[in-house]
Structure 1
Amino acid sequence: MKSNIAIIGSGISSLAASCYLAQAGYCVTIYEKNSSIGGRARQLTKEGFTFDIGPTWYWMPDVFERFFSDFGKSPSDYYTLDKLNPAYSVYFGKNDFISIENSLDKIAATFEKEEPGTSKKLKKFIKKAQSNYDIAIKDLVYNPGVSPLELITPATITRLNLFFKTIKRDIRQEFKNKRLAKILEFPVLFLGAKPSETPSFYSFMNYADFGLGTFHPQKGMYQVILALERLAKSLGVKIETNSDVEEIIVDAGTVKGLKINGKAQGSNIVVSGADYHHTETLLKQSYRQYSENYWRKKTFAPSALLFYVGFDKKLKHVNHHTLFFDVDFDTHAKAIYDHPKWPDAPLFYASFPSITDSYAAPEGKEAGIFLIPIAPGLTDSDELRATYFNKVLDRFERLTDQKVKEHILFKESFCVTDFIKDYNSYKGNAYGLANTLTQTAFLRPKLKSKKVKNLFFTGQLTVPGPGVPPALISGKLVADLVKKHNRLES
């Protein structure tokens, strides 16, 4: 008889893990503390507007295809994808922006127009990035981070130097135009670290950007969550919301179940997709693998100040995804990683899904999401949120040459205290542990507890790292470990 498995949290990695484990015949129940599923990928609806609270970028469609194909399905069985054109735009000044279109040839032409001679360099750079992508996404990231030998393959042996050089160095050597360099450095920000701290091998993110493109699921990213829910339930997974896990019950070093809303619930195996640090606080001190000092020394990806805004008119001079790089990135990065503080002049990102998707806003209106990356652990207050909302909107109006403040119907915000309250997020981080050299693969927190038998972890603080596609992969990796562990035990 297969074991009962309890999964903490209903984010993407938890939902993915539940599907694989249920497919293998386990009795799986997900316990979610909030009233709705999805973790950081939840949805906000208000006055006819719909916002994705967390992830808004759909990259690496092949990872989604690979996941659903494991169950004889396809993403198209659940939602419809639109390839965005332009994928996004990047503002550098007033009415001064570069748009990234939906094919490498078009992007190369844009680079050539910006600086003659760069189109050939770009295609050469992306060809190398594609080679890294083929190695990383089709092979390396599907390893469980158990041993450094996972990184040693015939393909990686010839690329070991790419783990010791940085993306920023590679890009700045080839592309002297600072605007183009900033665009090429942008994709690795999804990995949570500065380009100057990110290994060259991660250039595969540039292929994900320029080679594969940017997509949007009709009705929003939450459709991915609903797809995972449908698949999980079809496989027999039970999902319990409003179920706050207060303790992981351990006896003689072995998991026995969970304490949920004050009541004990027995389980043979526990998989936590909740914040890794928080999960270990649900254990007695002697059963924790990582000390508070361990977590303090780690390089975390940023937190974020987010605004969800309903406008009473359509906006001009913006695209579905729009980046604002009109201020110095290095100065903002220092305020995140080196000397944590609220940035004086932050870069920011804005998403207007209603440009692409009528589902996001009532006719003639616009849904806007504004995101400012900030250091985790900062003081968060209503006054600071108001100050930064005005800073962002003032710049937005000037750069896009339009008045929008008087057209705001409402705004909601989400920041450090919300990440802590809703997700038990360590220091209110938004994206997990950064993928720096010393926090890659086997150097990340482990999927399997070293101190508690039958306790496993998944999600952005473990392997392979932050992002939606890695979350899907993390769910598969932990499910494979559980199955392997049970085979050895039986």
Structure 2
Amino acid sequence: MSARTASGPRRVAVIGGGIAGLATAALLAAEGHDVEVFEQRDDVGGRAGSLAVDGFRFDTGPSWYLMPEVFEHFFRLLGTSVEEQLRLEVLDPAYRVFFEADRPGTPAPSPLDITADTGANLATFEDVEPGAGRALADYLSSSSEAYDVALRHFLYTSFTSPLGLASPDVLRRLPRLLPLLTRSLQDFVGARFSDRRLRQILGYPAVFLGSSPERVPALYHLMSGLDLTGGVMYPEGGFTRLIEAVAGQAAHHGARIRTGATVVGITTEELPAGRRPRRGPRSRATGLRWRDREGQEHVHAADLVVGAGDLHHLETRLLPPDLQTYPQSYWDRRTSGPGAVLVLLGVRGELPEMPHHSLFFTRDWKANFDAIFAGSVPDPASAYVCKPSATDPTVAPEGHENLFVLVPVPADPGLGRGGADGQGDAAVEAVADAAIRQVADWAGVPDLAERVVVRRTIGPGDFAADLSAWQGGMLGPGHTLRQSAMFRTGNVSKRVDGLLYAGSSTIPGIGLPMCLISAELVLKRLRGDTSAGPSPEPARPAEDLAVGPR
């Protein structure tokens, strides 16, 4: 039976235990399907992983809780709520931005704080550049409109029906929306603000989208409305707690999660001649082959396979060439988001100079991004630092701080892998050393390196080896115009019936909220639902369906 039409209960095999795979398993199991998840690592989470070392616990991936409406909707689809699953704290300041000096030998501009108070942020912009407060208010109004339209028409759809794009709501806004697709975010921001610090604050969300301000469409200014108007939140226990909540919901609804299970192939059979569509697949998925920790190979039968891992790996490694919808030649024409060097530091003593989130922006931002996409490590490099111990005492021993440092670098596994205590590959450790020096200098913590008691690094080689990430990228294909919305890689195989996709490689794109939506798009396909908006939420049952500690 076609995966494109509504049907009865199915045997579903999900490849990948990251948030997209777990969310898919939860939604399909709640729908009554028989679901099993296959995750090659010993723990679920994928890019949203966790590492415990000597009393420190590090999130090794996402650390910004944005688009709260998406999380709320997802949990309500499962009969529960964010309030029942997570304890969220609004961060204030949301983040602090440190800037490189305008010229060598001159003092750096003072750091700027973005808070949970929109009025305070307007005042900050006005203080930096007269007139920028009013300009920011107009900018955020436009951002809010774009975000609202995206939620209702562009994110919760597989673009199988033109009706969503041709709705009166979209058509009425086309004169404002089309220019946002034909110019870059960098140009859009630059036309409204002169001070480079303000431009950088409004342009940095492009990094969350796996790109740069000059490479993403201006439509993505919608991201700025998320942290400049409502603040940034943090789930108590870290983002591993979010993974536990989604995995808990999957198990609660009957899905089985198998770790240490490496999928080595998707099994298929040819459709009988009489059942082949005039156009479309000639084969159908019958399950998968997987290898356990001992190297023993097994076959798992399924009516539907959902690939929720890296799509390049799934297509080019788990299917024969004649069944690949997205072969290597397709990926050769695509653009990866950046790679990253992650530096996980346990630090003795307090670091009041930095709040929960800090951004370190270089003076010549264009040169920084150009170097990354040209294959070179920038010097100096912009960086992001998360200090969750500012909010969560459970992530570090008493009297210590937990630092997660992310430095965007080229998506190139050849840069190497990280390691413990500076023993990773040379290029990765050199990036880590430079980042520690930079943070120490710009934030005013001259003895930072001497206070490090735990150090672990992760490089592009680790993303490639551990997560099967295309080109060792930290996020997935970047959100350039030709890789966004209806132009992004689709979520259904054109060669194999019963093979669907979820995760950051496919629609709607990169980030935890997008991965939750990608899982819902699988559910909508099975239901035969071609609507453009979120699925209807079920009425809450009388009994309490909460899973996990409260």
What stretches of structure 2 of length at least 5 have no aligned partner?
A: 1-7, 101-107, 271-282, 292-296, 417-424, 530-550
CA drift of 1:148 comes to 6.1
Counterpart mapping for 1:295-310 below 5 A: 295-310=331-346
Inter-partner Cα distance in structure 2 for 1:336 and 1:148 = 37
Q: Aligned pair in 2 of structure 1 residues 152, 199: CA closer, same or farther (>3 Å)?
A: farther
Equivalence for 1:427: 471
Which of 280, 288, 301 does residue 258 from structure 1 map onto? 288
Q: Equivalent residue of 2:477, what SS?
A: coil
Q: Equivalent residue of 1:113, what SS?
A: helix
Q: Equivalent residue of 1:212, what SS?
A: coil
Deviations 1:28-79 (A, max 9, x none): 0001100000111111111111111110111111110111111221111111
What stretches of structure 1 of length at least 5 have no aligned partner?
A: 486-490
Counterpart mapping for 1:267-278 below 5 A: 267-278=302-313
Counterpart mapping for 1:159-308 below 5 A: 159-252=177-270, 253-261=283-291, 262-280=297-315, 281-308=317-344
Inter-partner Cα distance in structure 1 for 2:28 and 2:265 = 23
1:140 matches 2:154: yes
Inter-partner Cα distance in structure 2 for 1:298 and 1:471 = 20
Kindly indicate whether the alpha-carbon contact (under 8 Å) linking 2:307 and 2:314 is maintained by their aligned counterparts in 1. yes
Equivalence for 1:336: 372
Inter-partner Cα distance in structure 1 for 2:144 and 2:501 = 30
Deviations 1:295-347 (A, max 9, x none): 0221111111001111111113111110101342111111122x212222211
1:366 matches 2:401: yes
Equivalence for 1:45: 52
Q: Aligned pair in 2 of structure 1 residues 149, 202: CA closer, same or farther (>3 Å)?
A: farther
Inter-partner Cα distance in structure 1 for 2:343 and 2:89 = 25
1:400 matches 2:430: no
Which of 4, 13, 21 does residue 20 from structure 2 map onto? 13
CA drift of 1:138 comes to 3.4
Which of 520, 531, 539 does residue 476 from structure 1 map onto? 520
Which of 119, 135, 138 does residue 124 from structure 1 map onto? 138
Equivalence for 1:377: 412
Equivalence for 1:488: none
Inter-partner Cα distance in structure 1 for 2:305 and 2:409 = 33
Deviations 1:356-402 (A, max 9, x none): 11011111100001111112125223111221122111111111122
Deviations 1:187-244 (A, max 9, x none): 2321112211211221110111212221000110111101101111111010000011
Inter-partner Cα distance in structure 2 for 1:107 and 1:299 = 34
Kindly indicate whether the alpha-carbon contact (under 8 Å) linking 2:413 and 2:461 is maintained by their aligned counterparts in 1. no
Q: How does the TM-score come out when normalised to structure 2?
A: 0.86
Inter-partner Cα distance in structure 2 for 1:41 and 1:316 = 26
Counterpart mapping for 1:24-43 below 5 A: 24-43=31-50
1:418 matches 2:446: no
CA drift of 1:95 comes to 7.2
For this pair of structures, how many residues does the alignment match?
484
Inter-partner Cα distance in structure 2 for 1:82 and 1:224 = 13
Counterpart mapping for 1:82-97 below 5 A: 82-93=89-100, 94=108, 96-97=110-111
Kindly indicate whether the alpha-carbon contact (under 8 Å) linking 1:145 and 1:443 is maintained by their aligned counterparts in 2. no
Inter-partner Cα distance in structure 1 for 2:18 and 2:193 = 38
Q: Give the AA of the match of 1:104.
A: T
Greater helix fraction, Structure 1 or Structure 2: 1
Inter-partner Cα distance in structure 1 for 2:157 and 2:98 = 38
Which of 486, 506, 526 does residue 462 from structure 1 map onto? 506
Kindly indicate whether the alpha-carbon contact (under 8 Å) linking 1:342 and 1:378 is maintained by their aligned counterparts in 2. no
Q: Equivalent residue of 1:297, what SS?
A: coil
Inter-partner Cα distance in structure 2 for 1:154 and 1:14 = 34
CA RMSD of aligned residues (A): 1.5
Equivalence for 2:491: 447
Q: Give the AA of the match of 1:283.
A: L
Equivalence for 1:112: 126
Inter-partner Cα distance in structure 2 for 1:95 and 1:398 = 13
Kindly indicate whether the alpha-carbon contact (under 8 Å) linking 2:347 and 2:402 is maintained by their aligned counterparts in 1. yes
Inter-partner Cα distance in structure 2 for 1:162 and 1:153 = 18
CA drift of 1:19 comes to 1.5
Kindly indicate whether the alpha-carbon contact (under 8 Å) linking 1:7 and 1:29 is maintained by their aligned counterparts in 2. yes
CA drift of 1:251 comes to 1.2
The runs of at least 4 consecutive aligned structure 1 residues that moved more than 4 Å come to 147-150
Kindly indicate whether the alpha-carbon contact (under 8 Å) linking 1:304 and 1:371 is maintained by their aligned counterparts in 2. yes
Kindly indicate whether the alpha-carbon contact (under 8 Å) linking 1:419 and 1:430 is maintained by their aligned counterparts in 2. yes
Q: Equivalent residue of 1:138, what SS?
A: helix
Inter-partner Cα distance in structure 2 for 1:104 and 1:173 = 22
Inter-partner Cα distance in structure 2 for 1:78 and 1:478 = 23
Q: Give the AA of the match of 1:460.
A: S
Kindly indicate whether the alpha-carbon contact (under 8 Å) linking 2:22 and 2:247 is maintained by their aligned counterparts in 1. yes
1:67 matches 2:102: no
Kindly indicate whether the alpha-carbon contact (under 8 Å) linking 1:95 and 1:401 is maintained by their aligned counterparts in 2. no
Inter-partner Cα distance in structure 2 for 1:185 and 1:270 = 38
CA drift of 1:483 comes to 3.2
Inter-partner Cα distance in structure 2 for 1:302 and 1:423 = 15
